[in-house]
Structure 1
Amino acid sequence: MIKDKALVSSLFGRGSLLAAAACLSLAVLPGAHAQQQQAPLLGASQEGNPQQEIQQYCGSIVDPARDQRYLLQKQELDKLQADVNERINTLEARKAEYEDWLKRRNAFLQKAKAGLVDIYKTSKADEAAQQFDEMDINIAAAIIMQLPARQSGLILSEMDAKKAAMVAAIMSSAVDPTTSRDPS
């Protein structure tokens, strides 16, 4: 045992001899240390008010818990914002595609309409009237409105009287400034 004290004294110095002895006794008798540790903890909790200790504990962790909760909420909001931004980008891409498609469709319709009007400009009035009688009334009115007035008059005179009257009514309502553009 004296050899151990000399070793401890040389390692830790003379002031730490007592601390080294305590460590050595703890290493030799672990059960005694456990009993010594339990006694102060039990004594401390019996001395104070348990409710007060709980409140102190909860009070000491409330700010870090709130900060953690706010951090988690911020992360969730950031994730949701990223999702919204991604959806907005997707919608903007689709909108651009749709606008491009609509532009090409309208250009095609303008070309087709111009070509169709040119076809009826060169046709005979009695033949065109037969075709307009079979055609949808709105389409017939749209084409007849774009033909020269003289030719439109000839075609309308060759058409069925009821159908010609409906076409004339559509054409007059289209040029009437008091007619609402919104049909509903």
Structure 2
Amino acid sequence: MATNNAGSGSVRTHLLAGCFAISLSVLPLAAQPVSKPVLAAEEELQSDAELYCKNIAASAEEARLSWQTWQLVSLEAKVRQQVEKLERKQQEFEAWVERRERLLSEVEGHVVSIVSRMRPETAAAQLATTDEETAMGVLLKLKARVASNILDEMDPARAAQLTQAMVGFTDPEGAGGF
């Protein structure tokens, strides 16, 4: 059943005015506070929706804050889980790097000693097929005379490439060169 709010507000206003007039005639004028009838009239003029919003504002604010707090707690838990996951991955990565470095240092010493005992032609053929960083690392650890003999036996383009890489490695500024 639909109600006519406009008509009901008008009726309320008339009823309020009548009640106000009766209360003024019954009560002594000096004993009656002036602000109460004015406030009551103002409240009656407010719409039902305004009164409802005014009445539930505190509980709505509390509910909103409660929901936001719950959201923050939930997000904090997710962030904490991700941080723990990343810390585990970081520990795994650090352990892997440590194992790799240890293995490379052991192997590198062996490879350098093996290459230094090879004939220059054979060592040049071996280093020509390895990646640039490995070949450069081996050549840098060899004695200069052995490294120059190996580079002399390599393809000139590959030897120049490795030599340039070694110069860049020993002089990071790139100031040195031919």
What TM bracket, shorter-length normalisation? Answer: 0.5 to 0.7
Q: Size of the alignment, in residue pairs? A: 137
1:68 and 1:117 mapped to 2: Cα distance?
A: 72
Distance 2:63 2:128 in 1: 77
Alignment partner of 2:174: what SS?
Answer: coil
Q: Does 1:114 align with 2:109?
A: yes
Change (3 A) 1:119 1:52: same
Q: Percent identity?
A: 28
The residue identity in structure 2 corresponding to 1:93 is: R
- Deviation for aligned residue 1:63: 0.8
Q: 1:162 to 1:76 in 2, by over 3 A?
A: closer
Give the alignment of 1:126-165 within 5 angstroms. Answer: 126-165=121-160
**1:14-68 Cα deviation digits (max 9, x unpaired):** xxxxxxxxxxxxxxxxxxxxxxxxxxxx9xx954648455433331221111111
Structure 2 counterpart of 1:100, one-letter code? A
Question: What is the root-mean-square deviation in Å for CA atoms of aligned residues?
Answer: 2.6
The correspondence of residues 48-59 of structure 1 with structure 2, limited to 5 A, is 49=44, 51-59=46-54
Q: Structure 1 residue 70: deviation in Å?
A: 1.0
Residue equivalent to 2:85: 90
Superposition pairs of residues 61-80 of structure 1, within 5 angstroms: 61-80=56-75
Q: Tell me the TM-score normalised to structure 1 length.
A: 0.63
Among 120, 125, 130, the alignment partner of 1:125 is 120
Distance 1:91 1:135 in 2: 34
Cα deviation for residue 146 of structure 1 reads: 0.8
Please give the secondary structure, in 1, of the residue aligned with 2:69. Answer: helix
Mapped partners of 1:52, 1:164: distance in 2: 91
Structure 1: runs of 5+ lacking an equivalent: 1-41
Aligned to 2:100: 105
The gaps in structure 2 that reach 5 residues or longer are 1-7, 17-43
Cα distance in 1, alignment partners of residues 82 and 132 from structure 2: 43
Aligned-pair CA distance for 1:129: 2.0
